[in-house]
Amino acid sequence: MATAAKPGDNRKINLIGLERTDYKGNVSTLCAGCGHDSISAQIMTAAFDLSLKPHTIIKMSGIGCSSKSPAYFLSRSHGFNALHGRMPSVVTGATLANRSLEAIAVSGDGDTGSIGFSQYKHLLRRNVPMVYIIENNGVYGLTKGQFSATADQGQKLKYAGLNELPPIDLCAEAILSGCGFVARSFSGDAKQVRELLKAAMSYHGTAVVDIISPCVTFNNHDESTKSYAYGKAHEEPIHDITFIKQYEEITVDYEPGTVQVVKMHDGPTIRLKKLDRDYDPTSKMAALQLLEGAHEKQEFVTGLLYINEGRPTLPELQHLPSTPLAKLSPDQLRPGEDKLREIMATFM
Partner 1 sequence: MSTVDVQADVQHSAVAERPTVVNDFSFVAATVNGSGSQTANSVLIRAIFKMGIPVNGKNLFPSNISGLPTWYTIRINKDGYIARREGTEIVVAFNKNTAAADLAGLPEGGVCVYADDIPLDRARTDVTYYALPAKELVKQSGADVKLRDYVANMVYVGALAELLGIDRDEIKAALTFHFQGKTKPINLNYGVVEAAAEWVRANNHAPCPFRVEAMAKTTGQIMIDGNTAGALGAVFGGVSLVSWYPITPSTSLVDALNEYLPEFRHDADGAPTYTVVQAEDELAAIGMVMGAGWAGARAMTATSGPGISLMSEFAGLGYFAEIPGVIWDIQRMGPSTGLPTRVSQGDVLSTYFLGHGDTRHVCLLPGTMADCFEFGYLAFDLAERLQTPVFVLSDLDLGMNSWLSEPFTYPQEPMDRGKVLSVEDLKRLGSFQRYADVDGDGIGYRTLPGTDHPAAAYFTRGTGHNANAIYSERPDDWQGNMERLDRKHETARRLVPKPVIDQHAAAKLAILGFGSSDGAIQEARDRLTTQGVATSSLRLRALPLTDEVRDFVAAHERVYVVELNQDGQMYRLLCMEYPELATKFISIAHCDGLPLTARFITEQIQQREG
Among 19, 51, 80, 240, binds partner 1 (CB under 8 A): 80
Site string for partner 1, 119-148 (x = CB under 8 A): x--x---x----------------------
Is the Cβ of residue 293 or residue 321 nearer to partner 1 in the bound state? 321
Among 20, 86, 284, 295, binds partner 1 (CB under 8 A): 86
Q: Quote the least distance from Cβ 167 to partner 1, whole Å.
A: 23
Buried b (16+ CB within 10 A) or exposed e, 201-231: bbbbbbbbbbbbbbbbbbbbeeebbbbbebb
List the interface residues with partner 1, window 98-117 (CB under 8 A). Answer: 98, 100-101
- Distance of alpha carbon 267 from alpha carbon 265, whole angstroms: 6
Q: Angle formed by the axes of helices 35-49 and 190-201, to 10°?
A: 50
By CB atoms closer than 10 A (0-12, 13-18, 19+), residue 117 is middle
Q: Quote the least distance from Cβ 106 to partner 1, whole Å.
A: 13
Judged by DSSP in three states, 169 sits in: coil
Site string for partner 1, 3-32 (x = CB under 8 A): -----------------------x------
On whether the CB atoms of residues 54 and 43 are closer than 8 A, the answer is no
58 binds partner 1 (CB under 8 A): yes
Is the Cβ of residue 56 or residue 298 nearer to partner 1 in the bound state? 56
Number of residues located near partner 1, criterion CB under 8 A:
60
Among 28, 51, 75, 283, binds partner 1 (CB under 8 A): 75
Q: Quote the least distance from Cβ 87 to partner 1, whole Å.
A: 8
The kind and range of the H/E element at 4 are strand 4-5
- Distance of alpha carbon 181 from alpha carbon 67, whole angstroms: 21
Is the Cβ of residue 295 or residue 324 nearer to partner 1 in the bound state? 324
Is the Cβ of residue 29 or residue 298 nearer to partner 1 in the bound state? 29
The DSSP line for 73-112 is: B-TTSEEEE--TTTHHHHHHHHHHH-TT-EEEEEEEHHHH
Among 28, 51, 89, 146, binds partner 1 (CB under 8 A): 89
Residue 51 CB contacts under 8 Å (≥ 6 apart), including other chains: 2, 14, 15, 16, 18
Q: Quote the least distance from Cβ 346 to partner 1, whole Å.
A: 9
CA 190 from centre of chain: 15
Q: Quote the least distance from Cβ 289 to partner 1, whole Å.
A: 29
By CB atoms closer than 10 A (0-12, 13-18, 19+), residue 7 is exposed
344 binds partner 1 (CB under 8 A): yes
Among 6, 11, 55, 144, binds partner 1 (CB under 8 A): 55
308 binds partner 1 (CB under 8 A): no
**Around Cβ 278, how many Cβ atoms within 10 Å?**
11
Judged by DSSP in three states, 248 sits in: coil
Is the Cβ of residue 100 or residue 153 nearer to partner 1 in the bound state? 100
- Distance of alpha carbon 263 from alpha carbon 309, whole angstroms: 10
- Distance of alpha carbon 90 from alpha carbon 98, whole angstroms: 12
Among 3, 51, 81, 217, binds partner 1 (CB under 8 A): 81
Contacting positions for partner 1 (CB under 8 A): 26, 53-56, 58, 70-71, 75-83, 86, 88-98, 100-101, 118-119, 122, 126, 314-315, 318-321, 323-328, 330, 332-335, 337, 339-341, 343-344, 347-348
